[in-house]
A and B are shown apart, each in its own frame.
Chain A
Amino acid sequence: MDEESERAKRWEGGYERTWEVLKEDESGSLKATVEELLFQSKRKRVIVSHGQVRLGMMRHLFVVIDCSRSMEDQDLKPNRLTSTLKLMEAFIDEYFDQNPISQVGIITTKNKRAEKLTDLTGNPKKHIAALKKAVDTVCLGEPSLYNSLSLAIQTLKHMPGHTSREILIILSSLTTCDPSNIYEIIKTLKSLKIRVSVIGLSAEVRVCTVLTRETGGLYHVILDESHFKELLMLHIKPPPASSSSECSLIRMGFPQHTVASLTDQDAKPSFSMSHLDSSSGPGLSLGGYFCPQCHAKYTELPVECKVCGLTLVSAPHLARSFHHLFPLQPFVESSVEELQGNRFCQACQGELKDKNIFTCPSCHSVFCVECDLFVHDSLHCCPCCIHSQNTPL
């Protein structure tokens, strides 16, 4: 498995007392507890859905990455920084996959200063490129929560009120070096309704507890790398919108992808607007998405039109973020002994070997644990329900 290989070498890890969790059953065998452990690790806690809550679907998120001296600590392999950046790449991908109409920016903080690595944009490639480059940064000095927060505020405060404004801090250091009283800036954040969440890499720091509590964010501390990943993924789901945030209608453009055929004499290759400022990337191309309002050309969606400011998306993007509003209900967990009839998983058709099975509450189909995870994490709909709805005429 992927995770397994990423795991540290045994001799590099901390002292683990794996033997303490094991307990012998009556026959003196360890098999039962080992299986139990494996099962537990497979089954992640299903996030409790909020029901019908308004979610802040349009998100403006700043990720602050600590690049201070403590990021060189090797408790994550090969060190905290590399591991964090790698996970961040996955996070960015997943984030745009699930929140297509949202934007991200990255800030790094080290040596008592904060710098913008990337601006708020909806283009994942740019972020990932920046993250790849950042692996070589030298970690030094202390981070500054104050400076990074105020840098994020400078941009976020201009964002429209109907969007969800968030900051996610990945903090490795246990200290922060601030030019001024941090409680002032917490007040400002609160008044601007910016939600700040923190993922701590080492231990619980008081100021972060206050910061997240005041601004309504989440505060977690990682246990190991896989837990870190899990915690990052928590932030992919859009947060519930605060009831006081304004509502407004948003103009959106749905450009179609048109490719001029090479045979067409009139076809002229043109530059994509999004590539104007960056020197890299493909230059001229024939086809692309054309803004319905001003006909500016873009090679990628979603994007905000540089010329007229219209948000350009494709319909599948919108549809993809739809499942956050109507999440698939968690399946009912029960023991395999209670099941009558065939002991086969409805999805993979494999035999149900584990002790527990999962039943869809609406169509009562039975799934194994792997399929349950797949359905909830990736499909977001029950295949059997879909199947029964679309009975052929």
Chain B
Amino acid sequence: MKLNIEGLLVYFPYDYIYPEQYSYMLELKRTLDAKGHGVLEMPSGTGKTISLLSLIVAYQRAFPLEASKLIYCSRTVPEIEKVVEELRKLMEFYSKETGENNNFLALALSSRKNLCIHPEVSSLRFGKEVDGKCHSLTASYIRAQRHSNPNLAVCRFYEEFDAVGRQVPLPAGIYNLDDLKDFGRRKGWCPYYLARYSILHANIVVYSYHYLLDPKIADLVSKELAKKSVVVFDEAHNIDNVCIDSMSVNITRRMLDRCHNNVDTLQNTIHKIKETDAAKLKEEYRRLVEGLKEANVARETDIYLANPVLPDEILQEAVPGTIRTAEHFVGFLRRFLEYLKSRLRVQHVVQESAAQFLKDIFEKVCIDRKPLRFCSERLQSLLRTLEIADIADFSAVTLISNFATLVSTYSQGFTIIIEPFEDRTPTIANPVLHFSCMDPSIAIKPVFQRFQSVIITSGTLSPLDIYPRILDFRPVTIASFTMTLARTCLCPLIVGRGNDQVALSSKFETREDFAVIRNYGNLLLEMSAIVPDGIVAFFTSYVYMENIVASWYEQGILENIQRNKLIFIETQDAAETSMALEKYQEACENGRGAILLSVARGKVSEGIDFVHHFGRAVIMFGMPYVYTQSRILKARLEYLRDQFQIRENDFLTFDAMRHAAQCVGRVIRGKTDYGLMIFADKRYARADKRGKLPRWIQEHISDSSLNLTVDEAIQLSKHFLRQMAQPFRREDQLGLSLLTLKQLESEEMLQKITQIAHQT
């Protein structure tokens, strides 16, 4: 259907539209008009992706100069593929309606592992191996060597691409990863480099967060993207953690040992080269004197792990004399390593700021701040000069040099914590140096500064106002959308008491309380008897889950549950978990029924959807507060309080509630889906907690379901499940939660739609 969104003609590839989709597009249009950033929350399963795509594509067509490019960031490869498929549908609709072939180029980009078509390289299992092998075939000096020695192995796909691929742009169309591979095979071009090259002139790019947020990757992939782009972060409820992770470094003793080996190798290579080709090192020295800003057009393949964000002025400067020659630099690295080693030899926890660290290192081993800043860049240069083919081996030393650069560049927003042992195993010495970023805005700042519009969207972003604060940006639109429903297909219940009136809570004091554990077991047992097919239960942590399950086993509760359903447990082992997940789905499929016990913040809670029968109920056992005794967290909380005036408790609650919302949101993946959401902790009933749930869940929590006993919850659930099992046809939705164009344009509906968006 064709929509008119405040004067903009939008092609929407379906015959029906949800009211909230219309409302979402309205808000989005306003954001783009204002050339600002936006935070939009819309429940999952209400067609967020297609609304985004339709509106932005329409906007691009209407104002090609205002919004030249859409950069769509998603989290996982399957999600990327889904976006491309939606886009394909949209484009087909366009060409059908307008009759002309539009010159739209849209493509997905992923790592070499997903795009490589070289027969040997692509058969490798790990991303790192693929990257390393690819590098050893395509690095510029390898290719230069080949001129003198034609027997050297080379990737013919890259050669072919390099020879002709750049002249001929990728023909217009929609390319997902497989399409790119097919195209590459047909032409004999390397799909990865083709895609990386093509994103510069593509209209729409779909790729992972890291290509934009991780400074090491962003620098080489997304550096040249046009300023007038619209950037969308989908599923962005965890964006602050992604930012922080991309800037943090953890150093262990094992890593330092590997680093040592790296440095030894470097030294040997330097010796060898000195005997054979001393001129090369001299050449490098000359270049370093001139400055770091070098033409690296021909070297795009060389930069394997580029430097973290450096202020521009550093790049203009020359590398300081102390680390200019190769030997000096290696010696410098050695000193630095020894210093780190000595720091790891601690008996108690040390926490210090970057400035303190720099002062200490200067006093102890006389390392100045300036050479440290250039460490990462200098290492890259050395690796290039030494023509080391397999860079994957040098990840340890690269990491250390990145750390050196970061610690000397940023005085604010970072902290250094050295822990002699893990908290759980205080007897085993396992020293770790955490260089932890506390300010997510550092990593994302370039994105907000560079691009015209950045949209942050997800199904669970509540409370919305906290994101602009912790990411330090000023949005023009903040809106939350509700889900219009023809039948209330979600049933959030807060179970605060057991049948014996014992308060249910996972708070620290009652964690070991048998009465609570028994009541939790009772809740699961009773639910397993009345909920069909799949139940997903979330615990607050692995340790807590282990304790509870062990205790249930002793009390015989597990045995009783297993009469109703099979039990699967998520573990920290990814392979084990995916196996459990597969079997869980099988058991749901063939009617046996299953329970999946998993952990909030785990793999299951983030990436796995439990559509329809795979998840008829979610039970949250307790509130998923993050482990508050962690020193990194404490440091971060302190920083948030000092810098952003966010109280510790506010942030902790926000973090717990967004994870709880994420977990329970796993069951509702659309309007035809239905599911129970059971919050088994009396603390959820409190207004400050409840108020932080997304609006589309909050709306359905009635006052009478705030502090239920297990029995009451069972009664309500039974009733709900029976109601939901009644036939539900599309006609029931029409006009209420599903609209035709005609219904949409009626006055009354437009009136209603304005109420869907909830501005904060």
Decide yes or no whether B565 CB sits under 8 A from chain A. Answer: yes
Decide yes or no whether A9 CB sits under 8 A from chain B. Answer: no
Q: Are A221 and B564 in contact (CB-based, < 8 A)?
A: no
Q: Are B718 and A202 in contact (CB-based, < 8 A)?
A: yes
Q: Are A222 and B591 in contact (CB-based, < 8 A)?
A: no
Q: Are A75 and B721 in contact (CB-based, < 8 A)?
A: no
Q: Are A15 and B716 in contact (CB-based, < 8 A)?
A: yes
Output the least CB separation between B590 and chain A (Å): 5
Contact of B612 among A181, A182, A206 (CB under 8 A): A206
Decide yes or no whether A175 CB sits under 8 A from chain B. Answer: yes
Residues of B within 8 A of A209 (CB): 613
Decide yes or no whether A232 CB sits under 8 A from chain B. Answer: no
Decide yes or no whether A204 CB sits under 8 A from chain B. Answer: yes
Identify whether the interface residues of A are mostly helix, strand, loop, or mixed.
loop
Decide yes or no whether A115 CB sits under 8 A from chain B. Answer: no
Q: Are A176 and B592 in contact (CB-based, < 8 A)?
A: yes
Q: Are B722 and A203 in contact (CB-based, < 8 A)?
A: yes
Residues of A within 8 A of B387 (CB): none
Output the least CB separation between B717 and chain A (Å): 9
| Interface size of A as a range | 20 to 34
Contact of B591 among A14, A145, A202 (CB under 8 A): A145
Give complex CA distance A357, B664 in Å.
49
Decide yes or no whether A252 CB sits under 8 A from chain B. Answer: no
Q: Which residues of B in the span 524-538 have a Cβ within 8 Å of any Cβ on A?
A: 529-533
Chain A-chain B contacts (Cβ-Cβ < 8 Å), number: 80
Contact of A176 among B591, B715, B725 (CB under 8 A): B591
Decide yes or no whether A286 CB sits under 8 A from chain B. Answer: no
Q: Are A221 and B591 in contact (CB-based, < 8 A)?
A: no
Q: Are A204 and B530 in contact (CB-based, < 8 A)?
A: no
Q: Which residues of A in the span 204-241 have a Cβ within 8 Å of any Cβ on B?
A: 204-209, 220-223
Question: What does the 1/0 interface line of B357-374 toward A look like (CB < 8 Å)?
Answer: 000000000000000000
Output the least CB separation between A360 and chain B (Å): 28
Which residue on chain B has the smallest CB distance to residue A143? B591
Contact of B726 among A14, A181, A223 (CB under 8 A): A223
Give complex CA distance A206, B534 in Å.
10
Residues of A within 8 A of B563 (CB): 69, 142
Residues of A within 8 A of B256 (CB): none
Contact of B721 among A69, A145, A203, A220 (CB under 8 A): A203
Q: Are B725 and A14 in contact (CB-based, < 8 A)?
A: no
Decide yes or no whether B388 CB sits under 8 A from chain A. Answer: no
Residues of A within 8 A of B590 (CB): 176, 178, 181-183, 207
Residues of A within 8 A of B564 (CB): 174-175
Decide yes or no whether B557 CB sits under 8 A from chain A. Answer: no
Decide yes or no whether B589 CB sits under 8 A from chain A. Answer: yes
Decide yes or no whether A287 CB sits under 8 A from chain B. Answer: no
Q: Which residues of A in the span 242-257 have a Cβ within 8 Å of any Cβ on B?
A: none
Output the least CB separation between B545 and chain A (Å): 23
Q: Which residues of B in the span 696-725 have a Cβ within 8 Å of any Cβ on A?
A: 712, 715-716, 718-719, 721-725
Decide yes or no whether A302 CB sits under 8 A from chain B. Answer: no
Given A176-B591, A178-B591, A203-B532: A14 touches B721 (CB 8 Å cut-off): no
Q: Are B725 and A203 in contact (CB-based, < 8 A)?
A: yes
Decide yes or no whether B593 CB sits under 8 A from chain A. Answer: yes
Decide yes or no whether B588 CB sits under 8 A from chain A. Answer: yes
User: Which of B565, B612, B726 has the most chain A CB atoms inside 10 A of its CB?
Assistant: B726
Output the least CB separation between A191 and chain B (Å): 19
User: What residues make up the interface of B, taking CB atoms closer than 8 Å to A?
Assistant: 529-533, 563-565, 588-593, 612-613, 616, 712, 715-716, 718-719, 721-727
Shortest beta-carbon contacts, A-B, top 9? A207-B591, A221-B725, A206-B613, A204-B725, A203-B721, A203-B532, A176-B591, A174-B532, A175-B593
21 contacts between A and B (CB under 8 A): A14-B718, A15-B712, A15-B719, A174-B564, A176-B592, A182-B590, A183-B590, A202-B532, A202-B721, A203-B531, A203-B718, A203-B721, A203-B722, A205-B533, A206-B589, A206-B591, A206-B613, A207-B589, A208-B591, A221-B722, A222-B722
A-B contacts besides A206-B612, A207-B589, 11 pairs, CB < 8 Å: A14-B715, A14-B718, A175-B565, A181-B590, A202-B718, A203-B725, A204-B724, A205-B591, A206-B532, A207-B590, A223-B726
